[in-house]
Structure 1
């Protein structure tokens, strides 16, 4: 951003090079593209993602139903684990054979995970589709909004990164040109460098 201020300060500077002006204008253009272009792309992406995800939320809530399941029997009891972290994690998701009645009133028997340790005869809630197949819980609107915001921020960051990468590549090419010109000037000056009366 220091180059942007150079546009104003170097307007009448006799040491100003054409590449200095060009670098400052490229920095200004990049800043505007990041400020306006990246934020616009991020907003549009987030808005589109939010619409799509809210549609998914609506469909999932129409097609998924919370029903009661009754534990028929435990699938297996894991051996005792001395590590409290792994044992508590395993106990929190026990596999059981359970019975449930689907939204269409059909009876089902199958292996499911329980949210807490259970015993035969215990009841718990599971999510099923219209035909009674066990499905993940539907997405809620707050999760959808969070994903949409993250998509927008990701798109804005990607555009900003592309613009900044392009600016840095352009400045690097300018610097290469400057060094080549300096080398050429030094070669010309080097022939007379240090010779008495070379400037006269």
Structure 2
């Protein structure tokens, strides 16, 4: 029908730098050409800015978080070393036997058993600790006890501090990288919607001239 504006057709697919991995295609948003839009240039600048941000911020965040975490766990280890000590404890009853005595699994398995020990205040206390399978009652084992007289774990070792520090530092690095990727994706989505809106407006104006009644 004359005067009716046809529906806008979707714009041609934008170049995909990952799919079209040609060096000229990878830089298409930077080259001067009549089809380049302002949003294409803006998207290129955003990508460059985010790439520089990630290259600078990710190592900085990794170092800052790693240093903070290392100092925290080192202080924790020093405090634990001052407030914890090993004490002999006696099994109150027999430890369970492993179904396969002498096996590799049996050597690695530990069972929780109630033990009796003397706390830092000299009082006799009871608690639960993990012991080897098959130990009879009245056997003596060593347990770590804190300042409150509770059975606890040993102080953090240097390897544990290093492992936890590296883990948190790596998480900080990945967090910055993922934040940069997310920001790039959001910016690309906003600019793509802006392109679609501009395409609809241009098509509506052009179609009105094409469909004008003679």
Map of 1:36-47 to 2, 5 A cutoff? 36-47=56-67
Query: Hey, what's the Cα distance between the residues in 1 that align with 2:202 and 2:147?
Result: 80
Map of 1:41-190 to 2, 5 A cutoff? 41-74=61-94, 92-96=110-114, 98-102=115-119, 104=120, 106-117=122-133, 118-190=135-207
TM-score normalised to structure 1 length: 0.78
Q: Secondary structure at the match of 2:144?
A: strand
User: Structure 1 residues 25, 39: closer, same or farther in 2, change over 3 A?
Assistant: same
Query: Hey, what's the Cα distance between the residues in 1 that align with 2:144 and 2:89?
Result: 10
Asked if 1:25 is matched to 2:42, the reply is no
CA contact (8 A) 1:4 1:25 kept: no
Q: Secondary structure at the match of 1:120?
A: coil
Match of 1:5 in 2: 27
Query: Hey, what's the Cα distance between the residues in 2 that align with 1:111 and 1:191?
Result: 86
Aligned residue pair count: 185
Give the superposition deviation at 1:49. Answer: 0.5
Give the superposition deviation at 1:54. Answer: 0.8
CA deviations over 1:87-129 (Å, ceiling 9, x no partner): x7xx721322x33234x47242313223212211211110002
Give unpaired runs (5+ residues) of structure 2. Answer: 1-15, 18-24, 100-105
Q: Secondary structure at the match of 1:111?
A: strand
Query: Hey, what's the Cα distance between the residues in 1 that align with 2:126 and 2:141?
Result: 14
CA RMSD of aligned residues (A): 3.2
Higher helix share: 1
Larger relative contact order (CA 8 Å, sep ≥ 6): 2
Give the superposition deviation at 1:4. Answer: 7.0
Give the superposition deviation at 1:7. Answer: 5.3
CA contact (8 A) 1:92 1:114 kept: yes
Give the superposition deviation at 1:55. Answer: 0.7
